[in-house]
């Protein structure tokens, strides 16, 4: 991997940038550094994308203290693992996994389905009913065919005979 070993030092600043906690000078300095450091630029882009995804999730944000603790995890392991960007990735991966679980729960939880989801389920249900109707048509056609070959002839012949007798048609 060709990540910059300096990326470790930027983690807090990226977090602070997204939280709007950097001064103008610090923000300009960070952006200037990103122009010369593709790894840093990717880290910022990734963090922004993640923040955008999180903003679309209908869930309460994690407590500030927890986010701070998450940001501190790579720092605690810095001595063991020097690939700082990799650590940032794992923090982001953990956060994304947490978002994923939130999405899954919000989709399954009783308070969850939106009008659009209910409408879609209704359309899907209609499609199932359409297939049921088609199977029903096939079976009823088959039954009609069987009746036609087996019973329909005698039944219709008898009916015609009875009606004919009633009205004396066979005498004419």
Partner 1 sequence: MNRWMIAILAATLSLTAMAQQEELKALPGYVEFGELSSVYGEPKVMINIGGTILKFMSAATKDDPVAAKLFKGLQGVRINVYSTAGQTGPAMEQLTKVKDILMNDDWEPIVQVKESDEEVQIFMKLDGEAIQGLVVMAVDGEEAVFINILGMIEPSQLSEVMEKFDVDVDL
Q: Which of 44, 50, 53, 120 is nearest to 92 (CA)?
A: 50
- CB-neighbour burial class of residue 3 (10 A; exposed 0-12, middle 13-18, buried 19+): buried
Helix ranges (H only) for the chain are 11-18, 24-36, 38-56, 64-76, 84-108, 115-147, 153-167
Nearest distance from C-beta of residue 169 to partner 1, angstroms? 38
Is the Cβ of residue 16 or residue 98 nearer to partner 1 in the bound state?
A: 98
CB of 113 to partner 1, least distance (A): 5
Restricted to residues 5-44, the positions that interact with partner 1 (CB under 8 A) are none
Confirm or reject binding of residue 121 to partner 1 (CB under 8 A).
yes
Nearer to partner 1, 72 or 117 (CB): 117
Question: Mask of contacts with partner 1, 57-96, x by CB under 8 A?
Answer: --------------------------------x--xx--x
51 binds partner 1 (CB under 8 A): no
Kindly tell me which of 83 and 96 has the beta carbon lying closer to partner 1: 96
- Residue 126 touches partner 1, criterion: CB under 8 A: yes
Interface with partner 1 includes 125 (CB under 8 A)? yes
Of residues 26, 29, 117, 165, which one binds partner 1 by CB under 8 A?
Answer: 117
Alpha carbon distance 43, 33 (integer Å)? 12
The backbone torsions φ and ψ at residue 57, rounded to the nearest 5 degrees and listed phi first, read -80, 130
The CA distance from 84 to 78, in Å, is 7
Q: Which two tokens stand for residue 44?
A: 């910022």
Answer whether 95's CB lies under 8 Å from 50's CB: yes
Interface residues with partner 1 (CB under 8 A)?
46, 49-50, 53, 89, 92-93, 96-97, 99-101, 103-104, 107-108, 110, 112-113, 117-118, 121-122, 124-135, 138-139, 142-143
């Amino acid at each position: 991997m060709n990540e910059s070993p300096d990326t470790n030092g930027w983690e807090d600043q990226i977090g602070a940038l997204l939280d709007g906690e950097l001064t103008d000078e610090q923000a300009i300095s960070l952006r200037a550094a990103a122009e010369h450091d593709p790894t840093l630029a990717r880290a910022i882009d990734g963090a922004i994308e993640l923040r955008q995804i999180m903003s679309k999730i209908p869930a309460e944000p994690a407590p500030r203290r927890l986010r701070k603790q998450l940001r501190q995890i790579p720092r605690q392991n810095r001595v063991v693992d020097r690939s700082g960007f990799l650590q940032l990735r794992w923090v982001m991966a953990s956060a994304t996994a947490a978002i994923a679980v939130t999405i899954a729960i919000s989709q399954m939880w009783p308070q969850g389905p939106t009008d659009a989801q209910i409408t879609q389920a209704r359309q899907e249900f209609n499609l199932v009913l359409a297939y049921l109707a088609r199977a029903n048509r096939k079976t009823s056609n088959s039954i009609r065919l069987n009746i036609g070959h087996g019973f329909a002839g005698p039944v219709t012949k008898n009916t015609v005979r009875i009606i004919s007798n009633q009205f004396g048609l066979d005498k004419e």
